[in-house]
Amino acid sequence: MPLLRLRRQILSILCLVLLGCSTLLRAEDLKPEEVIAKHLDSIGSAQARKHLKSRAVVGAATYRVLVGGTGAVDGKFQFASEGQKSDFLFKINANGFLGEQFICDGSKASVAGTYPDKHRSEFGVFVLDQDAVLHESLLGGVWSSGWPLLDLEARKAKVQSEGTKKVDGRELIAIRYQPKKRTDLDILLYFDPQTYQHVLTTYRARVSSSIGTHGETSTTRQ
């Protein structure tokens, strides 16, 4: 009996592994438009999404140093949006840095630093320089009423499938997002292959240094 039970357990595990693999293969074969359609369904019905004109969210946030060091500081955030307008306030207390505020009025973007002398962090400078993050309502993800995938046609943006990629040990569906207005940013949106919920967005930009060499600056926001 113990041997029979063990065989059944092994068979069950193999079936689960094969089922997981088949789910990934199906997700990888989907066109980007199909992935986005499933993603929107994961948010809510078309009728429910239609009536969401504004949103306000508060919660916990973590500021992590990814380049040039290590460390993380926990804080809080407040995020409000209406149409293409958004106001994202991030609060922490790390060596005099109290956070930042990212604002977009639909046409103009601004970043307010909260160091004592009001200068911005590297992340704040990055977002202000690459303001497509704010103009495209990408910051905040699906929390934003202007989340571009809600009306991709109106945005006139292009999307391209990048298959599945492993991020922090997880296999995720990757979609490249290209705004209508030219940007130096390489933007990848990642989705769970089973629920199609948005997991994170990465932004990567290549910039030239003052001495003529090339470096790469990147950041990630969920």
User: Tokens 């990212």 belong to which residue?
Assistant: 102
Residue 124 region by backbone torsions, left for phi larger than 0, else alpha for psi between -120 and 50, else beta: alpha
pLDDT of 63-106, one tens digit each? 877 777 777 889 999 999 999 999 999 888 877 788 899 999 98
C-beta separation of 84 from 110 below 8 A: no
Domain ranges for the chain: 31-221
Residues 155-171 have a mean pLDDT of 92
Long-range contacts of 75-78, Cβ-Cβ distance < 8 Å, separation of 24 or more:
75/99
CATH topology of domain 31-221: outer membrane lipoprotein receptor (LolB), chain A (2.50.20)
**Local confidence band at 186 (pLDDT 50, 70, 90 cut-offs):** very high
**Model confidence pTM above 0.75:** yes
For the chain, give the percent of residues with pLDDT over 90.
Answer: 46
Average pLDDT rounded to a whole number, residues 205-220:
50
